[in-house]
Amino acid sequence: MNEVSHQRVKTNGIWLHIAEQGTGPLVLLLHGFPEIWYSWRHQITFLANHGYHVVAPDLRGYGDSDSPLSPISYTVMHLVGDIIGLLDHFGEQQAFIVGHDWGAVIGWHLALYILSHLVKIWDVHDVVDEPGRAERAFARYDYLTVIKKFLLITQTDNLIAPPGMEIIDYLRTPSRLPPWITEEELQVYADKFQESGFTGALNYYRAMDLNWELTAPWQGSKITVPVKFMVGKKDLGFEASGVRQYVEGNIFRSLVPNLEIVILDGHHFLQQEKHQEVSEEILSFLRKFPAE
């Protein structure tokens, strides 16, 4: 990762830390929970080596980016504004957006507001209750254990803790690591969250009800830009609650007319678990739109 450079960029009233590499058309890689720019470490160099200017920010509330205290500073309007500010910083009118989890939520809404090309990786979210509750629950574990509990999830049904149990207590800590990640890589996340805490990341969930209100005028709007949607067939809830049927059905395609769907044999953190396949799939999508 020595060729990846780092800087902090002023955007939308805050400072975002970004990792970047390469030259060419701009590709923005947007992470989810509980991640940082590092979750795209495989794709950054791969895409840069294939002729793209790759930028992976720590989203607001994460890593070395600013972390406003109030949950109302984490609406999709704020999050999209941060990314538009990055486009302005680089002097770009258009970009490829690759989003995972909350990054995918940002990608969808960005596609509603400005013209861009979008690669979207599946997102699943849990609802977090009042401020402080989740932080107190997380604090019962060391940071590395918290990261392991989330990043190494293999559960495929909906992630719902039993009544009276916090989700962090419900999640298992695997006794062995899967082959796609090392203890040292997990420690990178743990160290960074030990510096930043989890409040900024959890505030995304605390703003969810407000997001429904703010985005109500766009109900039923179509995403008209080209989209490639990737999902792991073992992702949380994909086979439950009619999600697979929706993804493969007519309603999704009616809302996203220019849609390509790819289902891979993986779990939630697909860009790490199946990093080579995901990188190749992203590249095949990007090459459909040669630079002018």
Just list the catalytic residues.
101, 205, 268
3-class state of residue 122 by DSSP: coil
**The two three-digit tokens of residue 181, written as one number:** 């990640």
CB 144 within 8 A of CB 187: yes
> How far apart are the C-alpha atoms of 138 and 141, rounded to whole Å?
6
Beta bridge partners of 260: 228
Q: Which two tokens stand for residue 147?
A: 């990261």
Q: What is the DSSP pairing of strand 26-30 with strand 53-57?
A: parallel
Contact 272, 42 (CB under 8 A): yes
Of 87, 66, 89, 85, whose CA–CA distance to 77 is shortest?
Answer: 85
Reported as type and span, the H/E element at residue 153 is none
List beta partners, residue 7.
18
| Both tokens assigned to 176 | 């062995």
State both tokens at 31: 């992470």
Q: How distant, in Å, are the alpha carbons of 38, 42, 44, 51, 253 from that of 1?
A: 10, 9, 9, 17, 38
